[in-house]
Amino acid sequence: MLSSCVRRVPAAVRFIDSLICNSSRSFMDLKALLSSLNDFASLSFAESWDNVGLLVEPSPPHTVNTLFLTNDLTEEVMEEVLQKKADLILSYHPPIFRPMKRITWNTWKERLVIRALENRVAIYSPHTAYDAAPQGVNNWLAKGLGDCTSRPIHPSKAPNYPTEGNHRVEFSINHSQDLDKVMSAVKGIEDVSVTSFSARIDDEEQTRISLNCTQKALMQVVDFLSQNKQLYQKTEILSLEKPLLQHTGMGRLCTLDESVSLATMIDRIKRHLKLSYVRLALGVGRTLESQVKVVALCAGSGSSVLQGVEADLYFTGEMSHHDILDAASQGINVILCEHSNTERGFLSDLRDMLGSHLENKINIILSETDRDPLQVV
C-alpha cells in the first residue's frame, strides 16, 4: 500500500507518489470512453446548431490515460495539455465551430488542430448537451441561488420516440373498398410504417388504417389517397410531437423556497461563482432591497433562452443591450457575470461526477490556465 498518498510528506515525495498512484490507473480505449461520456449526458440533448462530440481524432487505436477538462481551448491551454501529457481534451466550448477550409499555421484554431494531431491528443466537446443535461451546467448554476425548485425553461424532447416519422395519417376502409390494394400501395411508400385494426363506425364494420411517416413520405401518401375522393374525405393527418424529457432542457426557472432581497441574491451569486464583481441592471421601480422569489437563469449567453420569461431576476453570462433594456422595462432585474464565468465552475463538479461514472479508470484533471478573457481593470 502507498500510505504516503495520505500522510503529510515533502512535496517532492508527494509528486512521486502521485505519479505512482496515477500509473496504477488503467487506460480506456477512446471509443469506449466516448460511449461512456454519451451515457453520462447524451449528445442528443445538444441544440441542432451546435457542433458537439469528437472533433479531433488521432489515428486509431487511441487509448486514454488522462482526460483534461477545460471551458475554452486556447493556445495557452494547449501548452498546458501537452505539458501534462493528456490524451483527450474535453473542451466545454467547441474549438471547431465553423467549417475549416484548410489546416495551416495561419490561425490559432488551425494551430490547435495541428498540435493536437501531432501529439496524438483527441478533442471532444459537449457544449449545449451539458447545458441541457439534468446534472449539467444550468443545474450547477442554480445551486448558488439557495434552496429552490427548478425546471427547464425550454424542455428537451426525446430524440427517437415515439416514431421515426413526424406525421400520422389515419383513415377507414369499409368492406366495399379494396383493402388489399390500399395496404399494398401505402406499404410500398418508403419511410412509412402501417398498422391496421378493426373498428365499428356508424354501425358498420370497417378497417382503421394508421400510418406513421416522414414529411417527404406524407406527400406521396396524400397523392395516393386523393385519387379516391371518398377515402380522402375521411382522412385525418396529425403532427406528432416527441415527449418532453423530465429535468432536461435549456435554462432553468427557479422558485426560491423563501424570498430574499436582491442584495442577498447578488452576494450568493458572487460567492458561488467566486467573483468580486457582477454587472447589474435594476428593473424599473426596483432597488437592492426588492424581493426576489423567481429567478430565470441560463449559463453563457442567455438572451434567446430568457426572452419573454416572467421572473424577478434574469441571471446569465451576457445579454444584448436591447434585451437588457426590454427586461428592465418590465421590472425584471438582470445580473450578468461574463459568459464563461457562468460555466467554468461546473468543471470541478464534472471532474467528480465523471470520476465516479468512469469508476476512476483514468486520470481526470482540470486546466489551471483556462480563464475568462475579460477582466475588470
CATH number at residue 180: 3.30.70.120
Amino acid identity of residue 230, one-letter, is Q
Q: Which residues are annotated as a binding site?
A: 93, 131, 339, 343
Name the pLDDT band for 201 (thresholds 50, 70, 90). confident
pTM listed for this prediction = 0.81
The answer to whether residue 22 is domain-embedded is: no
Cα–Cα distance measured from residue 332 to residue 303, given in angstroms and rounded to the nearest whole number: 13
Do 315 and 276 lie in one domain? The reply is yes
Q: Where in the sequence is the domain holding 118, given as residue range(s)?
A: 28-130+346-366
In this structure, what C-alpha cell is assigned to residue 154?
Answer: 425550454
The answer to whether residue 11 is domain-embedded is: no
The answer to whether residue 210 is domain-embedded is: yes
Residue 205, strand partner residues: 200
- First-to-last alpha carbon distance for the chain, in angstroms, is 50
Q: Mean pLDDT of all residues in the chain?
A: 90
The answer to whether residue 19 is domain-embedded is: no
Cα–Cα distance measured from residue 109 to residue 182, given in angstroms and rounded to the nearest whole number: 57
Do 146 and 69 lie in one domain? The reply is no
Q: What is the phi/psi pair of residue 176, to 5°?
A: -80, -10
Name the pLDDT band for 234 (thresholds 50, 70, 90). confident
- % the chain with pLDDT above 90: 73
Residue 241, pLDDT > 90, answer no
The answer to whether residue 66 is domain-embedded is: yes
Q: Of residues 11 and 205, which shows the higher confidence score?
A: 205
The answer to whether residue 284 is domain-embedded is: yes
Q: Which residues are annotated as a binding site for a divalent metal cation?
A: 93, 131, 339, 343
Q: Find, among 106, 112, 60, 108, the residue nearest to 89 by Cα.
A: 112
Residue 287, pLDDT > 50, answer yes
Taking each helix axis as running N to C, give the angle between helix 108-118 and helix 75-83, from 0 to 180 degrees, rounded to the nearest 10.
10
**For the domain that residue 292 is a member of, what is the CATH number?**
3.40.1390.30
Name the pLDDT band for 162 (thresholds 50, 70, 90). low
> What is the count of structural domains for the chain?
3
* pLDDT tens string 181-191: 888 888 899 98
Do 67 and 365 contact (CB within 8 A), yes or no? Answer: yes
Q: Exposed, middle or buried, 139 (CB in 10 Å: 0-12/13-18/19+)?
A: buried
Residue 93, pLDDT > 70, answer yes
